Amino acid sequence: MSKPEPAKPEKIKAKGTIGIAGLNPIEVAVLNKELIRQANLMGLDLDQKIPEIIAIGIASEDVKFFGDAINICADYGCDLIAIAHKIGDSKIKERIKIGFQQDQLPIEIFSQDELSIEEYAKKILTHALSLEKPRRPNLVYGESEISKKTTEENLLKDRRDTTRRIKERMAHGGYPLLAHIDFQHFIILGGAGPAASAAQAFNFSQRGIPYIHISANNAPGKHLFEMGQGPSYVMHHQNSLTFAATLGLEQAQSAKRKKSPKLTFAPPFHSIIIPCNTVHRRLSEFCTIEIGEEKIDLSTEVIDIRNAALSTCSNTDSVILIGTSTSVGRVGDSDDFVGTYEIYRRKYFDDSRKDSYVPPFIIPNQLQQEKCMEAIFKIKAGEFEEAKKILNGIIAEIRSENGNAQVFFVCTELPLAYTKQEMLDYKITDPSEALARMAKEMSPKTRQREYSPAESSSHHTSSEDMSDDSASSSSKYVSASRHSDHKKPRLGLDDLIAQGVKIHSSKDPEKPSVINIKIGGEGVARKLSTKVASSIFSKFSDSDTLTLTTEQDSNEATIIADKPSSELRKWLKSRETNERTL
């Protein structure tokens, strides 16, 4: 059977960038999803053909905050900003005149008026695709060496431009909307694919988790790059994270250092979510960014989708992985390639301990994997029913030899072809759903409320789109938020330090360094310590050995770095929380 043709980005012209702002996050997320649906209907069957989107999923009912959401879109470099709310032009102008600077560069403001959401999305896309000269340079790689060099130069220019715009904004009051929620929004780094990350943003909106969704659709294909068939996406993701880490940085640094004066870096957001399994192989690469003269590693701020997924399978006898070749570990007919999930399982889960056991993975054979990749590309093109038939066939074949094992969809595109009920009936786990649950229980209380299914469905959303926690009550993943006395911890190592994580670094390379975690809530310390260990592993040498000591229901945990490398010792020393040395 023929394999999907690699993308030919040199034929893709520059497109406008779309910003979405609204009065409540559900409306923003619904418009985001509809834009991708209409793009597929228009024949945009590759991620790179779809305009980039930044969606501000933060409640902004106050007039000045609504204007600030528009400012964020403008500073990202948007050519048009779509208001995800049916209000007239006069009211839009009344709201945006407070914060929006019309003299920056020509930016179109779109309002839905009396259009249906389908018509509105078509109007927005048509405008974005027809722009002769977008504000941002063309960031899609071509195949020639000259075009590759040009794209890299364009990426650097785009990074400089956004940094300059943010700096100018900071000189005129910064970002009150982000300060209003204490910079506790999540960054959703999406675009792989656009529909999957839009679905993740919708999930966050429904749970009342504030977010900024950066759908980096211009970035090259992740699977193609990992298979050696396309250019790298690392620089694109670095640009997105540089924007996220610079947005209101000075305001956030000042606020967070009041609580923890020794912090060397306080990110202006809560955590980073990446609804793509494949990219987690390269967290340490694209999470390393430069702000001024300083190199910053943001990998410690990422909630790893693999951790969220594997936390659900403590009592599962076997797990079938269905996803991209590099995520499941099936590249050709070789058994030597180690998949993204297997790498994580080996590092963080101890087969000899019941409370951290993850069963070995069952993966497709070569032919089944080729069919799986065909299904993924069909989903990207919006051909959901055909993709589902292929996937159901693969699952049936594997289960015929391995019993009715639990299936993990380790490609965020795959759940888009199924309803929530079908996922339950077929015993399929969606890591994106597990990721949203983990983010919710780690999210602090903000001024943003949750939205009920009744409210959500009033915004052009079907019941199949609804996130249903009650349906997942039988899940083996026990949500920490079920403990009534649990104080929800903030995620991100520096935030954890502020809440009581103690680090004792060792000056002697032959002696261990220790991270002590003590925080309210049964079982929470283990989740946090696993996250911290994961962050350290993704950042430092494989020679660093971490030992995790905790009991399942304890609120204390200890991570010991035995004979830490010089890089790890230096990093721990910069975050040391008292004067004690070992």
Helix, strand, or coil here: 392?
A: helix
Domain final position from 255, 280, 305: 305
Domain final position from 305, 339, 355: 305
- Residue 491 maps to a domain: no
- Residue 487 maps to a domain: no
- C-alpha angle 395/400/402, rounded to 5°? 90
Res 387: pLDDT: 93
- Residue 454 maps to a domain: yes
- Residue 355 maps to a domain: yes
- Residue 582 maps to a domain: no
- Residue 490 maps to a domain: no
- Residue 4 maps to a domain: no
Retrieve residue 545's tokens.
């050995």
CATH code for position 465 = 3.40.50.1860
Same domain, 437 and 407: yes
Same domain, 446 and 552: no
Same domain, 290 and 318: no
User: How far is Cα 544 from Cα 577, in angstroms, rounded to an integer?
Assistant: 21
Same domain, 282 and 415: no
Retrieve residue 568's tokens.
């790890």
Domain final position from 281, 305, 329: 305
Same domain, 320 and 281: no
Retrieve residue 43's tokens.
């024949």
- DSSP, residue by residue, 95-126: HHTTT--TTSS--EEEE-TT--HHHHHHHHHH
| Structural domain for 511, as ranges | 500-574
Same domain, 415 and 558: no
Same domain, 427 and 295: no
User: How far is Cα 216 from Cα 17, in angstroms, rounded to an integer?
Assistant: 10
User: How many domains is the chain built from?
Assistant: 3
User: How far is Cα 72 from Cα 33, in angstroms, rounded to an integer?
Assistant: 20
Same domain, 520 and 436: no
Same domain, 464 and 530: no
Q: Which residues contact 335 (CB under 8 A, 6 or more apart)?
A: none
Same domain, 69 and 213: yes
Which helix or strand (DSSP H or E) is residue 154 part of?
helix 145-170
Res 580: pLDDT: 32
Res 63: pLDDT: 64
CATH code for position 554 = 3.30.1360
Same domain, 333 and 404: yes
- Residue 165 maps to a domain: yes
Same domain, 422 and 333: yes
Res 57: pLDDT: 93
Helices and strands in the chain, H and E counts = 22, 17
* pTM, to two decimals: 0.74
- Average pLDDT per 10 consecutive residues for the chain, totaling 582 residues: 45 81 88 93 87 91 77 92 72 52 63 86 93 86 74 92 92 88 91 90 90 94 85 93 92 70 75 92 91 87 89 77 89 79 82 67 91 91 90 94 89 90 89 89 60 38 32 25 28 46 55 53 50 54 50 53 64 53 28
